Amino acid sequence: MATYLTLPDSPLARMQNASLIRAGDSFTLAGYDGVQVRWGRVSLDGVLTQETSFALPQPALGPFFAATMNATPGDQLVALVVNLNTAGTYDLSAIVQDEGAAVPADPVVLASFPLGVDPATVQVVAGAATSGNVGFVAWGFQGTGSPINYLLLGANAATTGTPGQTFGDGITASNPDWECLATTNGTTGLGFSVVTPIPQFATWRTAELTESGSLSGVDYDLIGDVDDCQIVGSPTPTGGYDIAFQNAAGIDFSTYYPSNDPNQPGTVNTYDALATANFSGPLSVPHPVWVAPAGSDVSIGLARTAGPEVVRFTYNAVPHGAALALPSANGQTQPVSAWVGPDAVYVTYADNVTTSGTSTPTVKRYFIKVVSPAQLP
């Protein structure tokens, strides 16, 4: 089941790519078009308010978006950028803007990268606590054997102490370097992950911060490879975790079941869900954008150009119910951003609408609430 809303036309709503970040009792919607950062707050009912913007010259990398609290949860946007500094190295900086403010604050340098770092190896992710009180940023240098660094971001992107580090295991034949740094769904919202690409037996390594800065994590041993960093996951109400990932065979999903013994690891079961043969070839397999529990079933959101699609499977990969197609006027949808909550999945994407007799499409942005009930009607 889904509730479809079209956001009112505005420069933000027309952006081809925008990030949806849960922050407090609503969402931050933020995007960048190469000239302007635009952002606003979207209520759970799809009401867009306080659209705010600022000019940003194209950085070397970024921007990556986080949200934090100055006066109320989620009322500050933090744009993270990487740029060359006067010493010939690269800085990771935060640009903060208050909701409704005419201009942002001056950039704050959070970290300077080591001399000689190739910007092509730099990966950065950012996000916000679901409470909207704090944000976070994590970064690393892929292929160098170095760990992931992370910082919590308070009001005005204030930090305490030096960056924390994780995923810093040495590179060996059986433990290749991490790749695919990404944000992940979790209880706090302050989660990120990497993939250790062991052939046919990849490990998805997750970490989650609390708002006080403590870090915990779980490694999920998968059966199969992860192609093009296409992996998503979300917690289940029973303390487990659902995972969907793409490989040469198609799309698989895994379910993690925690052990009743806290001293023993849990169990990960992996199943083939959607084979490449279901599509017109490997290049036509849609990417998984989200995975969410649906009672004892698993639902997976797929990014299809014709419009996102939701498919549902039993715990052992038997298709359950019909696929749910999300709307598109002409089958020209843009990147999908989604947040998986305990009650529903919230989804947004732009849709290019071509009208007969015109050469330039108009853009509408959908905001959709997808509910997968425990029991199908």
What is the gyration radius of the CA atoms in the chain, in angstroms?
20
Residue 236: closest CA among 132, 341, 316: 341
CB within 8 Å of 43: residues ≥ 6 apart: 25, 26, 27, 49
**Mind listing the pLDDT tens digit of every residue in the chain (377 residues)?**
778 899 999 999 999 999 999 999 999 999 999 999 999 999 999 999 989 999 999 999 999 999 999 999 999 999 999 999 998 999 999 999 999 999 999 999 999 999 999 999 999 999 999 999 999 999 999 988 899 999 999 999 999 889 999 998 877 777 788 999 999 988 899 999 999 998 889 999 999 999 999 999 999 999 889 999 999 999 998 889 999 999 989 999 999 999 888 888 889 999 999 999 888 777 789 999 999 999 889 999 999 888 999 999 998 889 998 999 999 988 889 999 999 998 899 999 999 987 766 667 789 999 999 998 766 66
Which residues, 6+ apart, have CB-to-CB distance to 281 below 8 Å?
Answer: none
CB 128 within 8 A of CB 74: yes
Task: Look up residue 263 and give its two tokens.
Answer: 């001293």
Residue 377's pLDDT is what? 61
Backbone φ/ψ region at 368: left (φ over 0), alpha (ψ -120 to 50), beta: beta
Closest CA to 18 of 46, 38, 35: 38
Residue-level pLDDT at 325: 94
Distances (CA, A) of 191 to 129, 138, 183: 9, 10, 6
DSSP output for 237-277: TTS-EEEEEEETTEEEEEEEE--SSTTS--EEEEEEEEEGG
Kindly report the number of other CB atoms within 10 A of residue 87's CB atom. 9
At 375 the pLDDT is 67
Contact of 75 with 98, CB cutoff 8 Å: yes
Statement: the pTM of the whole predicted model exceeds 0.85: yes
Q: Is residue 209 part of a domain?
A: yes
What is residue 355's predicted lDDT score, i.e. its pLDDT?
74
Contacts of 206 (CB under 8 A, 6+ apart): 184, 186, 191, 192, 193, 217, 218, 219, 220, 233
Residue 376 lies in a domain: no
Q: How many domains does the chain have?
A: 1
How far the first Cα of the chain sits from its last, in Å, is 10
- Give the contacts of 67 (CB within 8 A, at least 6 positions apart): 21, 23, 28, 74, 76, 77, 78, 128, 132, 135
Residue 115's pLDDT is 92
Instruction: Give me the residues paired with residue 221 across strands.
Output: 203
Q: What CATH number did the domain enclosing 341 receive?
A: 2.130.10
Amino acid type, 129:
A
Following DSSP, what letter does each residue of 46-94 receive, concatenated?
A: --EEEEEEEE-PPPSEEEEEEEE-SSSTT-EEEEEEEEE-TTSSEEEEE
From CA 170, how far away is CA 42, in angstroms rounded? Answer: 43
Query: What was the pLDDT predicted at 67?
Result: 98
Whether residue 375 is contained in a domain is answered as: no
CA torsion angle for 363, 369, 347, 13 (degrees, to 10)?
30
178 within some domain = yes
| Residue 359 in domain | yes
Structural domain for 54, as ranges: 2-370
